[in-house]
Structure 1
Amino acid sequence: MWMRGLMLLALVCLTACHRGMDPVTFHDDGYPPKLGDWHVVEARDGTLQLNNGVVPYELNTPLFTDYAHKLRTIWMPKGVSAKYNPTETFDFPVGTIISKTFFYPLPKGEARNATDVARTYDTSRDFAGQGLNLNNVHLVETRLLVRRKEGWVAIPYVWNADQTEAILARTGDVQALTLVSDNGQRENFNYVVPDQSQCVSCHAHDWTTRALQPIGPKARHLNRDYHYPDGDENELTYLTQVGYLTGAPAPTDAPRNANWMDQKAPLDARARAYLDINCGHCHNPKGAANTTGLTLDINTPEDRHIGFCKPPTAAGQGTGDHMFDIVPGHPDDSILPYRLSSTEPGTMMPEIGRSTVHQEGVALIKAWIAAQPGDCVVLH
């Protein structure tokens, strides 16, 4: 009990900068016009601060969104917890608020345009304590998933030019930005904030009911360490100790996806984790892409279901005139990397959520396909 008490105290003290912030406010209906109306995260004193009880988390392998960095958080009202599930999204109680703030580090150096953002995996300059250092980052949007009595509701907010508040954007938004690499290479692109109705295309776990579900809060994605104010701790363990999760086993007994960037992890594990988070929420037996016969979540066996020598369900632009989803040993003959490499509507996959090509992700999937044995036989 004493350990639980210490963890609850740590949760209360999760950030030292939230003094003066009103308590988190759960709105059980409607669409508040400002992100600040929820008091989950707020821009204060040069920092995007987390309120009391707002717990940050990361994923082993995150979804790609135009090289944006993301600050993810969970908040729950007192006295309730999520129920652990080994394979699916945890069963979160009514009142839960999950936030995801999309942002970019600013390019290093003084000479830059107002729309320049860094294309980097370096997160060392992002954080100030458990918040974001607004001197070093550019905030774009914060999306809320709110668990109301009738189910999950997605509510998007876009940050203003002054970076002081995020405003409700139910119809979405488009921002012209320029990715700047460390070597000075520049890429202009349109960052697209999906409108509220588009959220269902990724977050509908069951395409029959089209009820929204969170994607990231699953055991295999959260089974990793996070650097909390009181030290490093496994996220499943921490959520359990602060009372936000019940029924979780020891981390060694829970599933765990690989980090797609971990060169020490097996290539197969890295590629499957990448496909799971970027494609598996649609390409599964109940998802939006269930009619394609291509299932890409981590639980799919590596046979024809994951695309080996599987002909596409429809020909045309999306296939690039390739005959199979995956041709073992031949990534350039495979539909999967062809679609991941495209930004053309009707060809690109995923269909929404990006305007740029994830070059490193495509390289990973090509390397994985190139390493696969076997061949595809064409029957005439």
Structure 2
Amino acid sequence: MRLLFPFLAIILAACGNQPASPAFHAEGRPDLLSDWGMVSVRDGHLVLSDGVEPYDLNTPLFTDHAGKLRTIWMPEGTSATYREGQVLDFPIGTVITKTFYYPVDGDGHVLRGDQGLLVSDSPETLDLERVRLVETRLLVHREDGWVALPYVWNEDESDAQLMRAGYSETLTLAEAGGTIRDIHYLVPNVNQCAGCHATNNTTRALSPIGPAARHLNRDYAYAGGVENQLSHLIARGYLTGAPDPDLAPRAAVWNNPDIPLDQRARAYLDINCAHCHNPVGPADTSGLHLNFDAPVSPNLGLCKPPIAAGPGSGGLRFDIVPGNPEDSIFIYRMASTRGDVMMPELGRSLTHHEGVALISEWIAGLEGGCN
């Protein structure tokens, strides 16, 4: 009998090293991320399962400098449909994942994951010796709508556990120049997920935010080579009805200085703010519309007084004062880390100084004034 245990251990270890198979759970809340089979740990790497497609966004949401590995999977024989100006129309059974991670240094500090640091020798994988996995969020499209499920990675990074009530921990971030500061990282609970993903305040139904054609229309370094993401999804059978990438909308890359400032600023506001600040969003009563196609008007914040902002106004009179970022509520709230002041109010504990600088430069270049 004693000989049997080492033999079983070898078998189990070998099985644990095999590629996972994606699974759609039409109901319930599986306790472990591995129950979904979208990603798995193999040979010291986080790898994608067969049929799971990675993707990236032209301009991503800022989340305390975390890196993000995003994936889409759909049941065999199904595909998403292109929708002009909206998130793709995904079929029932779609599972979208987003794994948050940080590169690590030799002292146990985390590094900025949103600056393109090398985290693997192979595309579409994460080398666990180079990164610290924090969480993986799932959006699952079921018959009755989308469901959000947050999973937190365990200490040995072998699997992630469902955390319906949310989770928080403090990470130590090492910055360039030797600056050390804490990240009070917060994993949202299932109700807080609706704070961003319930993009329509009337229906309150959850929806993906990032995978719209304008955000996906970019190149990606797939394992088989660099290819436009829209073209790749079409070839893969995951997307129908989309125009050629050259004719499809394309959001600006927020930190590409070769792109006009106005386009970069609007793309940044679109991805970071417009899920709430749109004509039908959770912040509809604010009258502030920051979606990519909102016209330049008071609804974009120009000379617009705040509505019920409380301490969020900072004693300032207008959301945006053209030519004067220092007098604009936008900049005051973006720069703050106070819970009752900062915007966005979820998803960060740090100030995105580069984002603040971008929007400040944009406001400084706007013409006009407020009486």
Normalising TM by the smaller chain, what interval? over 0.9
Give the 3-state SS of the residue equivalent to 2:326 in structure 1.
Answer: helix
Q: Deviations over 1:219-247 (max 9, x none)?
A: 11001011112211111111011000000
**Structure 1 counterpart of 2:264, from 270, 292, 298:** 270
User: Is 1:164 aligned to residue 158 of structure 2?
Assistant: yes
The corresponding residue for 1:37 is 35
Determine the C-alpha separation between the residues in 1 that align with 2:258 and 2:65.
23
Listed as ranges, the matches of 1:136-285 within 5 Å are 136-285=130-279
> What amino acid is aligned across from residue 309 of structure 1 in structure 2?
C
Listed as ranges, the matches of 1:90-129 within 5 Å are 90-107=88-105, 110=106, 112-113=107-108, 116-119=109-112, 121-129=114-122
Give the 3-state SS of the residue equivalent to 2:158 in structure 1.
Answer: coil
Determine the C-alpha separation between the residues in 2 that align with 1:252 and 1:22.
36
Aligned length: 355
2:20 and 2:39 in contact (8 A); partners too:
no
Give the 3-state SS of the residue equivalent to 2:330 in structure 1.
Answer: helix
The corresponding residue for 1:46 is 44
> What amino acid is aligned across from residue 246 of structure 2 in structure 1?
T
Greater CA drift, 153-162 or 308-317: 308-317
1:106 and 1:136 in contact (8 A); partners too:
yes
Q: Deviations over 1:98-149 (max 9, x none)?
A: 0000000113xx3x13xx2103543242134221111110000000000111
Determine the C-alpha separation between the residues in 2 that align with 1:315 and 1:288.
15
The corresponding residue for 1:13 is none
2:18 and 2:42 in contact (8 A); partners too:
no
The corresponding residue for 1:3 is none
Q: Deviations over 1:154-203 (max 9, x none)?
A: 01000011111110000010011111112210111210000011111100
Determine the C-alpha separation between the residues in 2 that align with 1:48 and 1:372.
45
Give the 3-state SS of the residue equivalent to 2:233 in structure 1.
Answer: helix
The corresponding residue for 1:75 is 73
TM-score (norm 2): 0.94
The corresponding residue for 2:4 is none
Q: Deviations over 1:74-117 (max 9, x none)?
A: 0011101101012111110011000000000113xx3x13xx21
Q: Deviations over 1:33-80 (max 9, x none)?
A: 100011100111110000000000000000000000000000011101
Determine the C-alpha separation between the residues in 2 that align with 1:73 and 1:277.
18
Determine the C-alpha separation between the residues in 2 that align with 1:122 and 1:318.
30
User: Is 1:354 aligned to residue 348 of structure 2?
Assistant: yes
Runs of 4+ in 1 over 4 A off after TM superposition: none
Q: Aligned residues: percent identity?
A: 54
1:308 and 1:328 in contact (8 A); partners too:
yes
Determine the C-alpha separation between the residues in 2 that align with 1:22 and 1:43.
9
Give the 3-state SS of the residue equivalent to 2:266 in structure 1.
Answer: helix
Cα distance, 1:316 vs. partner? 2.7
Structure 1: gaps of 5 or more residues: 1-17
> What amino acid is aligned across from residue 325 of structure 2 in structure 1?
P
The corresponding residue for 2:125 is 131
1:120 and 1:182 in contact (8 A); partners too:
no
Determine the C-alpha separation between the residues in 2 that align with 1:102 and 1:317.
31
The corresponding residue for 2:11 is none
**Structure 2 counterpart of 1:317, from 311, 314, 321:** 311
The corresponding residue for 2:5 is none
